[in-house]
Structures are given as structure tokens and as C-alpha cells.
Structure 1
Amino acid sequence: MSVIARTLGVSRSNLIERATNPSKPRGPYRKVDDLVLLAELRPIIDQRPTYGYRRVTALLNRQRRKESKPTVNTKRVLRVMQQNGRTLQKHTALRRTRTHDGVVVALRSNIRWCSDQLEMHARNGEVVRIVFVIDACDREIIAWSAIAKSRHLRRDGV
């Protein structure tokens, strides 16, 4: 312990005291004006309960600028809202599993249709777009259209 004390340039008794008596953890930080700030926040939160602390801070600071008061830090608004249970529930971003397996089922013909389109680029610069509609029950093509972009040719299967 004495080698460490000499290296750090502190007394050995100071190191022993710190090792045996750990410092007390600090309590929650509170400013004197937090109750005043909470009184300003409550009407905003009550009027717009779905707003998070960032939007609430923006509205509060807009109101304070109109009254020529200094603006409030976003982190302070978050701390005051958390200490008083005024924050929104955290979003977990958990999404439901995919229920659609890619199979489209229709019990009889002409009830559900599917459509798709594709585009093919030729070497000479022409672009051909093909659009078609399929009956989901019997997979029959109901209508189709092919359009060549550069020559404006149009052939319809309807």
C-alpha cells in the first residue's frame, strides 16, 4: 500500500480510509426550480399526452421565449419528467412475426387478383415494360400490356 501511496503522491492513511469506507452514492439530482418547471410542464403534458420529452421541451421553450424567459435544457426536462412519472412508455421496437407466408388463396375464380410488372432493358437502349393481372384461384392471366418506350409501340392483350 505504501508503494502505491508514494506513486500516486497521496498519504497512506487516505488510501486505507478510502478502501475501508467507500463513499456514499449520490442521491437523485434536484434543482431548486424543478417544482416550478414541473408546474410549467404539466399543462403541456396534460394537453398532449402522446408527446415525448423532446416535443414537450420544444413547446415549453417556445412558450418561455414568448414570455422572455430563458430556455430549458432537454436533459433537464427529461430528468424532471422521469422523476415525476410523466414520461411515455419506452418503445421496444418488437414487431409481430410475419403472418403471411406468400401463398395467396382464393376459393373460386374472379374473387382475388394479383398484378405485377417488369421492365427489360435492351442493348439498343429500348425499354420494354410488361404489366399483367393474374387470377389468384386458377393462375390465369386476365390481362397484360407491353409497352416499348423508345418506339412508343403498344400491344395489349385485353
Structure 2
Amino acid sequence: MPPQPIQWLADNGSAYTAGETTDFAVALNLVACFTPVRSPESNGVCEAFVKTFKRDYVRVSPRPDAISVLQHLVEWFEDYNTIHPHSGLRMRSPVNSSLRN
């Protein structure tokens, strides 16, 4: 389990808003956050992030079980939020982008 709560962004689909799903998220120390209703832009951002995160972190890392994945989340998020290049920043990292502004 992550040492501190992690925000989990999802759309408002019934699979994500169901009580069992949100209870499971709480048990994993996840804070459920939902995109605004009728906001395809927000949903697209969410889906793009998930695709990037799975491609660049999850699929290339050893993950013998869920606990191993959870133990890496903080490290992966830190890298994504500081070092990883972002297309919205012209393929610069958030750190390099903020240094030039």
C-alpha cells in the first residue's frame, strides 16, 4: 500500500462510481477523483495519461504481483511529474519546462 493517499482519476462510468469499486480504492489508499460529467476533454486527458503510464512504466517494469506495483507507484509518479517528457510541454519534462519559464 502506498505510504500516502494517491489520487485515482476516472470518468463517471458506473464501473468506476460503484460502491464496491470506491470501497476497493479506499482499501488501497486511493482517493477517487472523477472527471466532470459531459466533459470529453477531461476524459481524453485521463485516458492519455493512463496509456502513457502503462506504456512507459508498468509494462517495462517487473510486476510479479499487485503489491510490487503499488510499491513502485510513488517512484513512477515522481518520475512522471518531474522527469518524463510531456507532449503538452513540447516533449520537455515538467522540471525543464519550469526552468525555462
TM-score range, shorter chain: 0.3 to 0.5
Higher strand share: 1
- What is the TM-score normalised by the length of structure 2? 0.32
**Higher RCO (Cα < 8 Å, 6 or more apart):** 2
TM-score (norm 1): 0.23
| Structure label with greater radius of gyration | 1
